[in-house]
Structure 1
Amino acid sequence: MLEKPTKSASPSSPASGHDVRTTREARPDDFAGVRDWVFDLDNTLYPRHTNLFSQIDQRMTSFVAEFLQLPKDEARTVQKDFYRRHGTTLRGLMMEHAVDPDAFLEYVHDIDYSWIDPDPALGAVIAALPGRKFIFTNGDRRHAERAARQLGVLDHFEDIFDLVAADLVPKPAAETYDKFLGLHRVDAAHAAMFEDLARNLEVPKRLGMRTVLIVPPNFEDTFGDVWEHEGQDGAHIDFVTEDLATFLRGIS
């Protein structure tokens, strides 16, 4: 497990360009009193190197290209702009072009889930956590169920809070976290949230949750857009880990 982000005196990795971060063992008392464990799905429960989201990303570009009648390169620029400004590509399409969300979600999640390798070790450590476990995703329930089932962890979760349950308002909107907490009667002071995007942990931290950022090994520059890494050194990040199962094992 990696500590809360800090600048290190060690030189940066020449391959990644990110500062090296110090490490320590996870301690159960860091999460004492946590009764509700909240996990993002994509690139959090299943690792980014699985590259499953690349299929969704490509299908989003194709959808935008067809819907807006744009060449693929222009569609990709528009897609990424929507994602950054609105939280999801879908939200941008809805706000600016009144797209049918059901049609979008069905299209972009028509992918091959066999890319995910089952992870029984992760399933076992999630099952061992005290209290309830939730998946909180900007995708839809069907996508979350398929991915979690392929990973081998679906049966360990109390429920899935998806984009539809959030009335199609994605993280990091504060109202979406409030809706999740209210629906499941989660006390933020006794909850922990695991995410791969630092900006999606700002509201949970403000609400009193413990926050854990999931990053790929060696902080490869190849994972996602550069702006997605903004805020990794923020005070709203309590812990950073590149191995979710090992982190959870340390605090179980």
Structure 2
Amino acid sequence: MTQEIFKKKNVWLFDLDNTVYSPETKIFDQIDKRMKTFISKKLKISQESAFKIQKLYYKKYGTTLFGLMKNYNFEPNEFLEFVHNVDLDNLKKSSKLFKLIELLPGKKIIYTNGDHKYAERVLTALGIENLFDEIFDIKKSRYIPKPKIKPFREFLECKKIKTQDCVYFEDLEENLKSAYKIGITTIHIHNEKKPKIKPFIDFRFKTIINALDMINNSINN
């Protein structure tokens, strides 16, 4: 696949955490710790036991929340409110990020396992909240998380968006795999020094800025 393909694309799908912002900001690390604390308090278990449940459910179900809802009938709003109550001071506005996203032709959509309120906070902290046409969050997916793709595919069909028109930016390989299967062009935003070649990853970049720079250059040249 060559960079020429981007001239044919008009729908840009962005994961949120560790994709539109760098993992170096440690925002998701805060969320991770708050999940452990929430589980520990709710189930009255040790932090160590809570951590094991958290990671087991994440691996098995795609999100810790889905596992808690399935196995303990947790109320999702309480969980989401607690875990996303994090400090976003490490997120800084970037005029370059704003410009590069703004230049993309067509629709821009956030696709996240987080909730709408948190996504809006993050986008506002980055100064890019007005650039997106939609936020497809965990509530809109009926709490069925990535990498399961069915709810998002239904959303695209409802909006009359063709998967072959889409490009998806994401830091987690598993989520890209399911998107690739339905015909979406995939871009892996990664920190790995020597990433392995995967057939479901079309392009790789260290940062979202690098990816957007290349895409806009490809479209305009």
Are the counterparts in 1 of residues 19 and 207 from structure 2 also a CA contact under 8 Å?
Answer: no
- Pick aligned residue for 1:246 from 194, 210, 215: 210
Alignment match, 2:47? 72
Matching of residues 17-32 of structure 1 within 5 Å: 27=3, 29-32=4-7
Q: Which runs of 5+ in 1 are unaligned?
A: 5-25, 220-228
Alignment match, 2:173? 198
Mapped partners of 1:68, 1:233: distance in 2 = 41
Deviation at 1:73, TM superposition (A): 1.0
Deviation at 1:175, TM superposition (A): 1.2
Deviation at 1:251, TM superposition (A): 1.4
Tell me how large the CA RMSD over aligned residues is.
Answer: 1.6
Alignment match, 2:61? 86
Task: Give yes or no for the alignment of 1:47 onto 2:22.
Answer: yes
- Pick aligned residue for 2:136 from 127, 137, 161: 161
Mapped partners of 2:197, 2:156: distance in 1 = 26
Matching of residues 1-252 of structure 1 within 5 Å: 27=3, 29-216=4-191, 218=193, 233-252=197-216
Mapped partners of 1:184, 1:146: distance in 2 = 25
Are the counterparts in 2 of residues 39 and 193 from structure 1 also a CA contact under 8 Å?
Answer: yes
Residue identity opposite 1:234 in structure 2:
K
Are the counterparts in 2 of residues 59 and 108 from structure 1 also a CA contact under 8 Å?
Answer: yes
Quote the sequence identity (%).
35
Mapped partners of 1:178, 1:136: distance in 2 = 11
Are the counterparts in 2 of residues 60 and 108 from structure 1 also a CA contact under 8 Å?
Answer: yes
The secondary structure found in structure 2 opposite 1:73 is helix
Q: Whose helix fraction is larger, Structure 1's or Structure 2's?
A: 2
Mapped partners of 1:104, 1:69: distance in 2 = 15
Q: Normalising by structure 2, what TM-score?
A: 0.93
Deviation at 1:91, TM superposition (A): 0.3
Mapped partners of 1:143, 1:243: distance in 2 = 21
The secondary structure found in structure 2 opposite 1:113 is coil
Q: Which runs of 5+ in 2 are unaligned?
A: 217-221
Deviation at 1:217, TM superposition (A): 6.4
Mapped partners of 1:204, 1:186: distance in 2 = 14
Residue identity opposite 2:213 in structure 1:
R
Mapped partners of 1:204, 1:181: distance in 2 = 12
Deviations 1:131-159 (A, max 9, x none): 11000000000010000110111111001
Mapped partners of 1:112, 1:180: distance in 2 = 31
Alignment match, 2:219? none
Mapped partners of 1:49, 1:176: distance in 2 = 30
The secondary structure found in structure 2 opposite 1:114 is coil
Mapped partners of 1:152, 1:179: distance in 2 = 30
Mapped partners of 2:106, 2:33: distance in 1 = 37
Deviations 1:95-147 (A, max 9, x none): 11100001000110111111212122111100000111000000000010000
Deviation at 1:67, TM superposition (A): 1.2
Residue identity opposite 1:56 in structure 2:
I
